[in-house]
Amino acid sequence: MSKLRIPPGPRPHDTFRRGKDPASLQAGRLRSQRGEHRKSRGHSWLALLLSFSLISISLSCSRQQQDAADGSTVKIGFFGDLSGPTFNYGESARNGVLMAADEINQSGGINGKQIDVVFEDDKGSPESAAQLTGRLIDNYKVVAIIGAGASGNSLAAAPKAQSAKVPLIAPSSTNPAVTQVGDYIFRACYIDAFQGEVMAKFAANTLKARRAAIMLDFNSPYSRGLTDFFEYSFVKLDGHLVAKQSYKQGDADYRGQLSAIKAANPDVVYIPGYYGDVALIAKQARQLGLTVPLLGADGWDAPELWELGGDALNNSYISNHYSADDPAENIKTFVQNYRQRYRNLTPDAHAALAYDALRFLAEAMQRAGTSEGPKLRDALAETKNFSGITGIISMDRERNAVKSAVILKLLDTRYIYQETIQPEPVATPAPSQDGTSSQTQR
């Protein structure tokens, strides 16, 4: 099993501190029944239990220190929004990383070493993401980091990883600016340019839409990026943008913006946001009589979307990284194993992307023969045709994963596969003068 390290902090289940230890409760009953002379015996039992606990903690610390000293583990960091408004993304990503780590360790590890994953919660905050990246690098000495889900958090964290020359792989941050921070920053997903183009093509070519409206979260780099690329591609396909309205995450009333959109008479409404806002927007849109298809992106993909949005989401479409109903054997196996491990939950795209991120990081380490920064960075940059759950992954010159996208239709709590859109082929990078791939140059 991969090692789960919990950062220092309060321990809410500390039974000794809360006075719920069974031995201490029993000692209390003996004192009341048999007199004060039994008090010392109760204390003795408690002292003995505490002694054993301290010995256990000491041995655990010694083992961890020994692991670090003899190089028997590869320490990898993870940070994501394990709490906050989009906690589902972080939980799914953590699940995917844990499953991949366990599978790798059970197969012998990386170059004979076991993976030791250190998990941190950025709470959906860019400031926390930057701080935690520093902690993972400076305190835990991780050799690589998986994180974050949201583009804004990855943008905040990337400069620290770049400065320290520690590779950072963003599982699901689609904003192009993330990898532009530097040559140690990678992503396991496609970028907004491709995702926005994919949905624009589907709207124009499959749905035959000619008039589109957009509803975006103006404070979100993710939402703004998708908006720009959808608009550019849709207009290029002879479509017309008839309305554009904005909101901020956590708003409760969208009726003003939606009324303006309805008045513009669009054929489709593109909403590149996150599931919590999207669900409420969809409900209010239907209440206002806006019945045209709603279009979205991977930010919609969370179990709570249907719980929050219900029937208002029917006949909407999203672009996504994979379909859990794909009949490919590797995807069927992944979905089955995930459901068995996580109480019959179906893995969403965030779980699959994080799983792929750790898998292709491990594959790059295996090829490099080391977890040392520059050599690992080069091996990651040279990744070609890695067979992942979310597609065949190749790195382009900007360290973006070039792979296909799928379109899914939302109907009765299901995501029904519609079609796959392939990317343009990736050109083979020319070697530089020093013999390394030109992908290492900036």
User: SS3 of 168, please?
Assistant: strand
415, β-bridge pairs: 410
d(CA 56, CA 44): 18
Say what the pLDDT of residue 357 is: 98
User: SS3 of 11, please?
Assistant: coil
d(CA 181, CA 184): 8
Q: What percent of the chain has pLDDT over 90?
A: 71
Whether 174 has a pLDDT exceeding 80, the answer reads yes
Give 403-416 pLDDT, tens digit per residue.
Answer: 999 999 999 999 99
User: What confidence tier does 192 reach under pLDDT thresholds 50, 70, 90?
Assistant: confident
Say what the pLDDT of residue 15 is: 26
Give 160-173 pLDDT, tens digit per residue.
Answer: 999 999 999 999 99
> 166 near 184, Cβ under 8 Å?
yes
Residue 353 dihedral angles phi and psi, to the nearest 5°: -65, -45
d(CA 107, CA 114): 10
Q: Which of 227, 236, 245 is nearest to 175 (CA)?
A: 227
Give 82-128 pLDDT, tens digit per residue.
Answer: 998 889 899 999 999 999 999 999 999 999 999 999 999 999 999 99
d(CA 148, CA 129): 8
Give 257-309 pLDDT, tens digit per residue.
Answer: 999 999 999 999 999 999 999 999 999 999 999 999 999 999 999 888 999 99
Say what the pLDDT of residue 436 is: 32
Beta-sheet pairing, 316-320 with 405-411: antiparallel
Whether 435 has a pLDDT exceeding 60, the answer reads no
Say what the pLDDT of residue 1 is: 45
Give 242-260 pLDDT, tens digit per residue.
Answer: 999 999 999 999 999 999 9
User: What confidence tier does 62 reach under pLDDT thresholds 50, 70, 90?
Assistant: very low
> 266 near 217, Cβ under 8 Å?
no
Say what the pLDDT of residue 185 is: 98
Lowest model confidence (mean pLDDT) among 30-44, 136-150, 219-233, 361-375: 30-44
| Helix 87-106 and helix 329-341, axial crossing angle in degrees, nearest 10 | 110
Say what the pLDDT of residue 11 is: 30
> 241 near 235, Cβ under 8 Å?
yes
Q: Which of 133, 103, 117, 132 is nearest to 74 (CA)?
A: 117
Whether 356 has a pLDDT exceeding 70, the answer reads yes
Give 120-155 pLDDT, tens digit per residue.
Answer: 999 999 999 999 999 999 999 999 999 998 889 999
Whether 213 has a pLDDT exceeding 90, the answer reads yes
Say what the pLDDT of residue 352 is: 97
pTM as predicted: 0.74
Say what the pLDDT of residue 316 is: 98
Q: Please count the other Cβ atoms lying within 10 Å of the Cβ belonging to residue 108.
A: 10
Which domains are assigned to the chain?
Answer: 7-69 (no CATH), 71-190+326-402 (3.40.50.2300), 193-320 (3.40.50.2300)
Say what the pLDDT of residue 221 is: 87
Whether 68 has a pLDDT exceeding 50, the answer reads no
Q: In whole numbers, what is the pLDDT of the chain averaged over residues?
A: 83
Which own/partner pairs from 322-331 qualify as long-range (CB within 8 Å, at least 24 positions apart)? 322/349, 322/352, 322/389, 322/390, 322/391, 322/406, 323/406, 323/408, 323/415, 323/417, 324/348, 324/415, 325/415, 325/416, 325/417, 326/417, 330/387, 330/389, 331/389
Q: Which residue stretches of 271-348 are H helix?
A: 275-287, 304-309, 329-341
> 419 near 406, Cβ under 8 Å?
yes
User: What confidence tier does 424 reach under pLDDT thresholds 50, 70, 90?
Assistant: low
